[in-house]
Amino acid sequence: MNIKTSKCFLLSGFFLITSAASAQTDLKLWYNKPAENWNEALPIGNGRVAAMIFGNPSIERVQLNEETVWAGGPHNNVNPDAKEVVPELRKLIAEKKYIEAQALANAKMFSKQNGMQYQTVGSLYIKFPGHESVQDYYRDLDISNAISSVSYTVNGIHYKREMLASFTDQAIIIRLTADKPGSITCDLSMHSPMRSNKVNTSNGKLILKGNGESRSGIDGAIKFQAQVKALNEGGSQSQGDTLLSIKNANSLTVYISMGSNFKNYHDVSGDAEERTTTFLNQALKKTYPELLKDNIAFYQRYFNRVNFELGKNPASDKPTNERIRDFASGNDLGLVPLFYQFGRYLLISCSQPGNQAANLQGKWNELNSPPWGGKYTININTEMNYWPAEETNLTELTEPLIHLIKDLSVTGRESASKMYNARGWMAHHNTDIWRISGQVDGAYYGIFPTGGAWLTQHLWEHYLYTGDKAYLKEVYPVLKGASMYFVDALQEEQSHHWLVVSPSMSPEHNFLRDQTVGAISLTEGTTMDNQIVFDLFSNTIAAAKALNTDQAFSDTLSRKRALLPPMHIGKWGQLQEWLDDMDKKGDTHRHISQLFGLYPGKQVSPYKHPELTEAAKNILISRGDPSTGWSMGWKVNFWARELDGDHAFELLKQELKPAPIWKGKIEGGGGTYPNLFDAHPPFQIDGNFGCTAGITEMLLQSYDGDIHLLPALPSAWPSGSIKGIVARGGYVIDMDWDNGQITKLVILSKLGGNCRLRLHNLLQSAGKELVQAKGGNPNPFYAVDDIKAAVIADASQLHGLNFDKGKVFDLQTTAGKRYTFIAK
């Protein structure tokens, strides 16, 4: 295909309908050539269905996903044989016979099956004869309006495509126009890689039917449909057996609906055809201008809540792939807000209330067997997907995750009782749409019993941001059930009589290798487990207190929590990953699990625990910056919590480097694909979400008893503004800064109460004054749990860290009121 570009045309772009409330600039991903592969295509979605737009002038490909199209069917993968093995494993581990324990687990505590795959519906192809050679080519994704467009010129005729995923009317919509009447001629066809699928036409519709595939002895239970209706204005339309043909139309609107028989994780009795037809008919009731207007209004209700600016830069006039290429060596600060807001765009587009939670690829996947199954990896990745939700003002979008956790609290009772002889519920390091709770991926990766407990952190955080006690009452039994499991499952460690999780592992890592057994991962009392259980018990106690209930159980948890191990600082000054001092200096493993307490936990504070903060920093330096994409996203948050904005920004530069295009194998390290998708590699969406959360943590932190403003501002961002981000306790923050200092601060207090601010320059107001803070913060949303003093090795040689503590002030607020301050 021959594509000629016009510089003047490229710079001008195309005007799309915008909201007056959207004052943000440069929020387009744009390119001067079509996508050559999936990692260059552009994503649209409405939470339930999703599409990737390739933008080829001659053959447009619209790759389609519907969130419930998964392999397999209702089941759980719990292996009851594990119950007989676990006591023996605990005994061997307690005796530090790690090789023997790993060998036993490898032989007898195996995965029954490793979870089901998220699968693609297929693709719609639109073929345009004579469009092989074009001029003035342009394509974009406007994330301020959630619209993707493609434009070009053929034989003096200007063609344009607009594509959106309708939130309000549950269909993918494609609008084709030309500036000369009678110019649109095309053929529409569909293809699916599913083993069982059929394409046909009926009553002017193009229909794709298919089945989710069978895996690991579990029959494919999902039946799905995609229906395509094309409405032409002018010209003619005809249908063949598997083709819709449009000739000489003035314009064309294509409606794509999708649905399946999935009702919930244990019920697939729905009617795929009925659902798909209902969605299609709903969309067909509206004209394209109506669909567009309603969709933008719905989307911007979420997106426009946050505005982030770091100043304009000429680099924004370059195609996005070139901006990624040049970012590390240039001064394109405008790419940071674009990348930040792209993360919010993706979350809005793949996690709407009433739908499934965002999986390892959000909702975008072109394969039947995607990397890691496209499942929910709950030893960090699923949790990472939702890190930005509360703080970037998208609190409603956590509902699908909360629903997933509720489901797991039911299926997880089976793994708790049948595998570990315990009450309550638990889940390991993976689950899927069927809410499996048993281990996957064998003994080395799979025996991580705190994945479900980690998920529950989001239940408590949602309350801390919203103050919704009706919601808290609803989820309290889930918190209690997760805690109940560990009340039963914790084991007494022999040397110090601490209570520890056993058997367990530090996610996907090992501390020993044996020639016969291989990698040794199983142990007891890993630092991450101790931190997660501390977090779970603390959150459950606080929830019971807020609800004025369950005092006896809270007392039990308090006693158990007091017996958890303290954190340990090892011989080279590192925060230990294991109870024993086994960390290898220079180890670059992607998981830095012992830093859960630094982020997303709140057990390591630079002001309250400087020695732990230094030990965490030593681990970060040892592990290095370059890694897989999601790991670097996590590190942005770590360095922000270390109050080192310059280093956090260096991680963003590492993340925003061109990623190797994945061609069936893992190549190189992480980075970012031309479409701004995060690269593990291959694509994982968690790195996008992790970076959006990390940028927010650089500008605002509210985990440590106060609202810390500009805690980790990079020196490269001397001036800027962010409006609409949220602190715990329901405080919505608008900030402008210049020369690294706040020039204007506006606080909206949704819940009222004491607002404690940590500031690095003084502010004044014509109204309510800030007063010097004294004592603990009386606001219950800012309660901080005391931790045990760290055990520090004699050889640790800690040197101490210096932090600018700023000054801490209190502001008494009333719910619903705004408070404005300017620099003194």
DSSP-derived secondary structure for 647-681: HHHHHHHHHTSBPPPPSSS--S--EE-TTS-EESS
Q: Which two tokens stand for residue 156?
A: 């003096």
Spatial distance between the Cα atoms of 44 and 345, rounded to a whole number of angstroms: 9
Q: 249 near 274, Cβ under 8 Å?
A: no
Instruction: Note the pLDDT of residue 1.
Output: 54
Q: What pTM did the predictor assign?
A: 0.96
Q: 163 near 42, Cβ under 8 Å?
A: no
CA atoms within 13 A on the CB side of 806: 23
Q: Which two tokens stand for residue 171?
A: 């269909």
Q: Is the pLDDT of residue 584 over 60?
A: yes
Q: Is the pLDDT of residue 27 over 50?
A: yes
Spatial distance between the Cα atoms of 50 and 348, rounded to a whole number of angstroms: 12
Task: Provide the pLDDT confidence category of residue 788 given band limits of 50, 70 and 90.
Answer: very high
Task: Provide the pLDDT confidence category of residue 110 given band limits of 50, 70 and 90.
Answer: confident
Cβ density class 572-589: b for 16+ within 10 Å, e for less: bbbbbbbbebebeeeeeb
Q: Is the pLDDT of residue 576 over 80?
A: yes
Count how many residues are written for the chain: 824
Instruction: Note the pLDDT of residue 249.
Output: 98
Spatial distance between the Cα atoms of 818 and 624, rounded to a whole number of angstroms: 43
**β partners of residue 727:** 731
C-alpha to C-alpha distances, 154 to 10, 13, 34, 128, 180, nearest whole angstrom: 16, 17, 15, 11, 11
Question: What average pLDDT does this structure show over 314-330?
Answer: 89
Task: Provide the pLDDT confidence category of residue 3 given band limits of 50, 70 and 90.
Answer: low
Residue 354: CB atoms within 10 A of its CB come to 9
Residue 4: CB atoms within 10 A of its CB come to 12
Express each pLDDT in 233-268 by its tens digit.
Answer: 999 999 999 999 999 999 999 999 999 999 999 999
Q: 220 near 121, Cβ under 8 Å?
A: no
Q: 610 near 620, Cβ under 8 Å?
A: no
DSSP letters for 301-312: HHHTT-EEE---
Express each pLDDT in 40-91 by its tens digit.
Answer: 999 999 999 999 999 999 999 999 999 999 999 999 999 999 999 999 999 9
Question: Within its chain, how far is the Cα of 710 from the centroid?
Answer: 23
Instruction: Note the pLDDT of residue 607.
Output: 95
Spatial distance between the Cα atoms of 15 and 292, rounded to a whole number of angstroms: 14
- Indicate the residue type of 655: E
Question: What average pLDDT does this structure show over 617-645?
Answer: 96
Express each pLDDT in 276-311 by its tens digit.
Answer: 999 999 999 999 999 999 999 999 999 999 999 998
C-alpha to C-alpha distances, 253 to 171, 173, 286, 313, nearest whole angstrom: 12, 7, 11, 37
Q: Which two tokens stand for residue 717?
A: 């961002």
C-alpha to C-alpha distances, 410 to 417, 424, 427, 819, nearest whole angstrom: 12, 9, 10, 44
Task: Provide the pLDDT confidence category of residue 767 given band limits of 50, 70 and 90.
Answer: confident
**β partners of residue 532:** none
CA angle 113, 114, 119 (to 5 degrees): 115
Considering only the C-alpha atoms of the chain, give the largest distance between any 2 of them, rounded to a whole number of Å.
84
Q: Is the pLDDT of residue 668 over 70?
A: no
Average pLDDT, the chain: 94
The DSSP letter of residue 627 is -
Q: What percent of the chain has pLDDT above 90? A: 92
Instruction: Note the pLDDT of residue 8.
Output: 34
Residue 504: CB atoms within 10 A of its CB come to 22
Task: Provide the pLDDT confidence category of residue 660 given band limits of 50, 70 and 90.
Answer: confident
Task: Provide the pLDDT confidence category of residue 23 given band limits of 50, 70 and 90.
Answer: very low
Q: Is the pLDDT of residue 107 over 90?
A: yes
Question: What average pLDDT does this structure show over 753-762?
Answer: 97
Express each pLDDT in 403-437 by its tens digit.
Answer: 999 999 999 999 999 999 999 999 999 999 999 99
Instruction: Note the pLDDT of residue 328.
Output: 87
Torsion 560-562-567-568 (CA) sign: negative
Q: Is the pLDDT of residue 6 over 80?
A: no
Question: What average pLDDT does this structure show over 27-37?
Answer: 96
Instruction: Note the pLDDT of residue 24.
Output: 58
DSSP letters for 684-733: -THHHHHHHHHHHHHHEE-SSSSEEESTT--TT--SEEEEEEEETTTEEE
Question: What average pLDDT does this structure show over 371-392?
Answer: 97
Mode of pairing for the β-strands spanning 59-66 and 172-178: unpaired
Spatial distance between the Cα atoms of 598 and 596, rounded to a whole number of angstroms: 5
Cβ density class 735-755: b for 16+ within 10 Å, e for less: bbbeebbbbebebbbbbbbbb
Spatial distance between the Cα atoms of 505 and 497, rounded to a whole number of angstroms: 19
Residue 228: CB atoms within 10 A of its CB come to 28
Q: 640 near 634, Cβ under 8 Å?
A: no
Tell me whether residue 795 is exposed, middle or buried, using C-beta atoms within 10 angstroms of its C-beta: 0 to 12, 13 to 18, 19 or more: exposed
Q: Which two tokens stand for residue 311?
A: 């100043």
What ranges make up the beta strands (E) of 8-77? 28-31, 42-45, 49-53, 59-66
Instruction: Note the pLDDT of residue 403.
Output: 98
Of the candidates 710, 777, 768, the residue with the CA atom closest to the CA atom of residue 738: 710
DSSP letters for 528-561: HHHHHHHHHHHHHHHHHHHHT--HHHHHHHHHHH
Of the candidates 696, 700, 727, 726, the residue with the CA atom closest to the CA atom of residue 711: 700
Q: Is the pLDDT of residue 365 over 80?
A: yes
Whether residue 600 is preceded by a cis peptide bond, meaning omega within 30 degrees of 0, is yes
Instruction: Note the pLDDT of residue 316.
Output: 76
